[in-house]
Structure 1
Amino acid sequence: MTGSFWHDPAIILYILIAVLVADSLWSLYLLLREILIVYDVPQVPEVLGPYLSQELFNKMRKYKLHKSWFIMVNTLFVVIICGCLELYFGFYAFVWRVAGKCVIWDWMQHEVCLSIIYVFLLSIYITIKSLPGHIYERWCITSLVKRSKPRWLHRILCDTLDIICSLLLMALLVSVVVLMVQFLGQYAFLGLYAAAVMLTVVVILLVPCIIDPFLGKRVPLENLALQADLEYLTARVRFPIRQVYIIRVRDPAAGSNAFFYGCCCLKRIVIFDTLLLNRGRHSPAQMPAEDQGKGLTNAQVVAVVAHELGHWKNGHFYKAIVMFQVHLLLTLLLFIICFPHGPIYQAVGFEPGVQPIIAGFVIIFGFVLTPYFTISNVLMLTMTRQFEYQADKFAFKLGHATHLRHALLKLYADNLSFPISDGCYSSWHHTHPTMLHRLGRLEQLEASRF
């Protein structure tokens, strides 16, 4: 029975469709739970009352509901219906045949060129398919909650740069993958893993150097009192104060945030200027009216930095790298089992013996490994949420629990993040615990003192 299932393209096709439908319906069920929770909270939660007006809460609630229902409809039509039709009618094999007809010169018949054309055609199709939803989300849904918006020229330049970089990166990755599989053959698994490890190392080395140009401009901290408090805090845990950066973010819509990144001499704590009260400026008169008063007090900023120091002290960066490497190994092991199996290709419309390398990556990573990705994603999200609890506990041990609770409340209000979430939905989607869960854990820690 197992042999006939594994070698029957028709059965494999129906299993792929069933997995796609089951995974999508489960996502819709979780989203429906989230929607019902939002409907059940018409009033501002008491803990948020001092920080969030009922009027603004109503706008956030409307935005959350509108966007959630949009995702429901978009998932139903774009993911489930279109996805099932694409699999059943052999769309991915059809695109490969179209890519073959786009060949003009003989040198373009090389699989690398065909693969680049193939991925380019798929990108055009995906863009067209998602364009109505993207336009609706960008122009209708985002207008429900007013935020500071970048200038038109800035948005056009950023979008153009994103497209160009995406196309160049796509062509480079496709070329590397195809050539690696062609030259290494059955050892391609080792080559892919080695390339992924090298890429991870490069990212670790480069990201600290490119934080400034991509996010904004590094600026000195004008608030001398806050500077003194941060110096005292970092000295307590022996973290170099010179590695605490203040970044004046370029995008005015960027949320208030701070994060820890890196290791050894490359470690950084980055604080967005949007986290500081009135973006750290002495005179907020030139700021837009809706941005005035946003940000945290000195004590609250110190509490947030104490939380980030908790990530450093608990070695969360190293643990995250190990977690990613284990996930990568398991993914590639499953991939190498499925990649050479011809019936998988035949199940999605390819003729016997036709097994394009890049099409194999698209089908296996996009559909075949969906169950594994779903399970691994939940496990990794569970671990990252535990990291947040541990970092909060570290801030508590340093005596900043009360100010951290106030900072969380203010940040959710400033960032217009809806504060209520279904527990089951959160466990499948959120890297951080919900605000109420974090507040509850901090209150438990404070109560345990007595």
Structure 2
Amino acid sequence: MIVQFWNDPAIILLCLMIILLVDNLWNLYLILREIKMVYGARHVPEVLRPYLSQELFERMRRYKLHKSWFIIVNTLIVVVICGCLELYFGFYGLLWDLVARCAIWSWMKHEIWMSFVYLIFLSLYILVKSLPGKIYEKCCISKLVKQPKRSWSQRIVMELVDICCSLLIMATMVAVVVSMVNAFNQYAFVGIYLMAVLLTVMIILIIPVAIDPFIGQRVQLENQALKAGLEQLTRRVGFSMRYVHIIHVRDPSVGSNAFFFGSCCLKRIVIFDTLLLNRGLASDARLPPEERGKGLPNEHVLAVVAHELGHWKRGHFYKAIVMFQLHLLITLGLFVICYTHGPIYQAVGFDVGVQPVIVGFIVIFGFLLTPYLTISNVLMLMMTRQFEYEADKFAFQLGYAAHLRMALLKLYADNLTFPLSDTCYSSWHHTHPTMLHRLQRLERLESNRT
């Protein structure tokens, strides 16, 4: 019976539409839970009142509600209704036929070239389909929050750079993947996996070197008291001070932040100078008036660094790499089982024997593997949130719980986001626990110790 279903294009099409509906309706249910929670939150949480005015809280609340209702309407129209119509009328097969008719010369009929043109056409279609929503979001929703203003010339240049980079990456990936699948067939996933491993290694090697020029410029810490505190803290846990980098960020609007990345001699704790009081300068005379007095005092900075050291000490980087590699292996294994199966392509509008590799990736990863990808994503998000709790606990064990709580509150004041979230919604979407949940966990640790 299962084999008969698996070989029937009509049943496969029905399954794809059911998967699309169930996945998106579940997401809409989660957003409705979030909306219900936001409607019920009419006052600033007590712990945030010194940092968040009721007026600003109301503005953030209106933005959150407006944005959430927009997502619901946009998802229903653009994703659910259009998606079901595209599957039912064989849109993906019709688009491939259009690309084939555009192949005037013989060299244009090569699958790599057709796949590249196919993705361009598909991207244009998605852009047109989503354009009304983007215009509404830009003109109506974005006005509810303050955003950095850019000139039209800056916006055009940024868009052109994004398009050029996207086309270059797309062309490279299409050429490599299509060539590999056509050459090795069912064993292609081994090559794709090895390519992903190589890419991961390259990222690990390149990012520590590229952090400085992309974010800002590495500078020496002029605050000697903070420098002495950092040296004592890193010596205490066995982390070399030479791997702690202070970055003078070019754009202060990126916010205050610090993060850990890398392994072995390439590990880094990167601290934005916007996190430091007066940008870590010995004197605030060199700062413009609006930046004077901003940032965290030394004890709070040490607490944030203690949190990042917790990520290093608990091996979270290595655990994340292993988790990702396991996820990638399972995903590629499932893809290999599916991508040569002809009825899947027939279900989305292709003739028998026509099985373009690029369409296989789109249909299998975009629809067929959605249940697995959703579950695995929830599990990985659960793990990353647990990493944050473990890093907070490490800072608590070093004696920085009180300072970390104050640092979280002051960082929230600098990087304002709506402070409340539905628990179920958060578990499916957030990589970090909410700030209030982290504060509650730290308070619990302190109360258990006493």
Please say whether Structure 1 and Structure 2 have the same fold, judged by a TM-score greater than 0.5. Answer: yes
Using structure 2 for the length normalisation, give the TM-score.
0.96
Cα distance in 2 for partners of 1:138, 1:283 equals: 37
Q: Which amino acid aligns with 1:2?
A: I
Shift of 1:131: 2.1
Shift of 1:151: 5.3
Cα distance in 2 for partners of 1:349, 1:284 equals: 68
Matched, 1:79 2:51: no
Cα distance in 2 for partners of 1:447, 1:151 equals: 52
CA deviation vs aligned residue, 1:148-193 (integer Å, no higher than 9, x gap): 4455544433332221111100000000000001111221121111
Match of 1:235 in 2: 235
Match of 2:133 in 1: 133
Shift of 1:213: 2.1
**8 A contact 2:258–2:304 mirrored in 1:** yes
Q: Which amino acid aligns with 2:133?
A: G
Match of 1:181 in 2: 181
Shift of 1:144: 1.3
CA deviation vs aligned residue, 1:427-450 (integer Å, no higher than 9, x gap): 000111121211111111111222
**8 A contact 2:221–2:280 mirrored in 1:** yes
**8 A contact 1:148–1:252 mirrored in 2:** no
Match of 1:274 in 2: 274
Larger mean Cα displacement after TM superposition, 140-149 or 125-134: 140-149
Larger mean Cα displacement after TM superposition, 274-283 or 426-435: 274-283
Q: Which amino acid aligns with 2:418?
A: F
CA deviation vs aligned residue, 1:269-298 (integer Å, no higher than 9, x gap): 111223223544543896585x66543222
Instruction: Quickly say closer, same or farther: Cα 1:20–1:288, change in 2 above 3 A.
Output: farther
Cα distance in 2 for partners of 1:311, 1:216 equals: 23
Q: Which amino acid aligns with 1:430?
A: H
5 Å-filtered alignment, 1:372-411, equals 372-411=372-411
Match of 1:120 in 2: 120
Cα distance in 1 for partners of 2:62, 2:280 equals: 31
Instruction: Quickly say closer, same or farther: Cα 1:98–1:293, change in 2 above 3 A.
Output: farther
Matched, 1:319 2:319: yes
Cα distance in 2 for partners of 1:153, 1:218 equals: 29
Instruction: Quickly say closer, same or farther: Cα 1:31–1:287, change in 2 above 3 A.
Output: farther
5 Å-filtered alignment, 1:166-177, equals 166-177=166-177
Instruction: Quickly say closer, same or farther: Cα 1:21–1:294, change in 2 above 3 A.
Output: farther
Instruction: Quickly say closer, same or farther: Cα 1:294–1:286, change in 2 above 3 A.
Output: closer
Match of 1:97 in 2: 97
Instruction: Quickly say closer, same or farther: Cα 1:47–1:338, change in 2 above 3 A.
Output: same
Cα distance in 2 for partners of 1:139, 1:216 equals: 31
Cα distance in 2 for partners of 1:139, 1:213 equals: 33
Matched, 1:213 2:213: yes
Percent identity between matched residues is 67
**8 A contact 1:34–1:421 mirrored in 2:** yes
Instruction: Quickly say closer, same or farther: Cα 1:285–1:267, change in 2 above 3 A.
Output: closer
Q: Which amino acid aligns with 1:174?
A: V
Larger mean Cα displacement after TM superposition, 73-82 or 366-375: 73-82
Match of 1:283 in 2: 284
Q: Secondary structure at the match of 1:253?
A: helix
5 Å-filtered alignment, 1:20-59, equals 20-59=20-59
Q: How many residues align?
A: 449
CA deviation vs aligned residue, 1:217-238 (integer Å, no higher than 9, x gap): 2222232222222122111112
Q: Which amino acid aligns with 1:444?
A: R
Q: Which amino acid aligns with 1:87?
A: L
**8 A contact 1:401–1:442 mirrored in 2:** yes
Instruction: Quickly say closer, same or farther: Cα 1:280–1:78, change in 2 above 3 A.
Output: farther
Q: Secondary structure at the match of 2:449?
A: coil
Q: Which amino acid aligns with 1:436?
A: L
Match of 1:300 in 2: 300
Instruction: Quickly say closer, same or farther: Cα 1:247–1:127, change in 2 above 3 A.
Output: farther
Larger mean Cα displacement after TM superposition, 355-364 or 242-251: 242-251
Instruction: Quickly say closer, same or farther: Cα 1:436–1:418, change in 2 above 3 A.
Output: same
Q: Which amino acid aligns with 1:91?
A: F
Instruction: Quickly say closer, same or farther: Cα 1:285–1:51, change in 2 above 3 A.
Output: farther
Instruction: Quickly say closer, same or farther: Cα 1:292–1:39, change in 2 above 3 A.
Output: farther
Shift of 1:46: 0.4
Match of 2:433 in 1: 433
Q: Secondary structure at the match of 2:253?
A: coil
Cα distance in 2 for partners of 1:293, 1:79 equals: 47
Instruction: Quickly say closer, same or farther: Cα 1:129–1:274, change in 2 above 3 A.
Output: farther
Match of 1:2 in 2: 2
Larger mean Cα displacement after TM superposition, 250-259 or 345-354: 250-259
Cα distance in 2 for partners of 1:303, 1:111 equals: 55
Cα distance in 1 for partners of 2:249, 2:104 equals: 46
Larger mean Cα displacement after TM superposition, 99-108 or 322-331: 99-108
**8 A contact 1:244–1:270 mirrored in 2:** yes
Cα distance in 2 for partners of 1:394, 1:431 equals: 19
Match of 1:369 in 2: 369
Instruction: Quickly say closer, same or farther: Cα 1:90–1:341, change in 2 above 3 A.
Output: same
Q: Secondary structure at the match of 2:51?
A: coil
Matched, 1:109 2:112: no
Shift of 1:212: 1.7
Match of 1:359 in 2: 359
Match of 1:422 in 2: 422
Cα distance in 1 for partners of 2:67, 2:252 equals: 22
**8 A contact 1:5–1:11 mirrored in 2:** yes
Cα distance in 1 for partners of 2:103, 2:288 equals: 55
Instruction: Quickly say closer, same or farther: Cα 1:151–1:255, change in 2 above 3 A.
Output: farther
Q: Which amino acid aligns with 1:120?
A: I
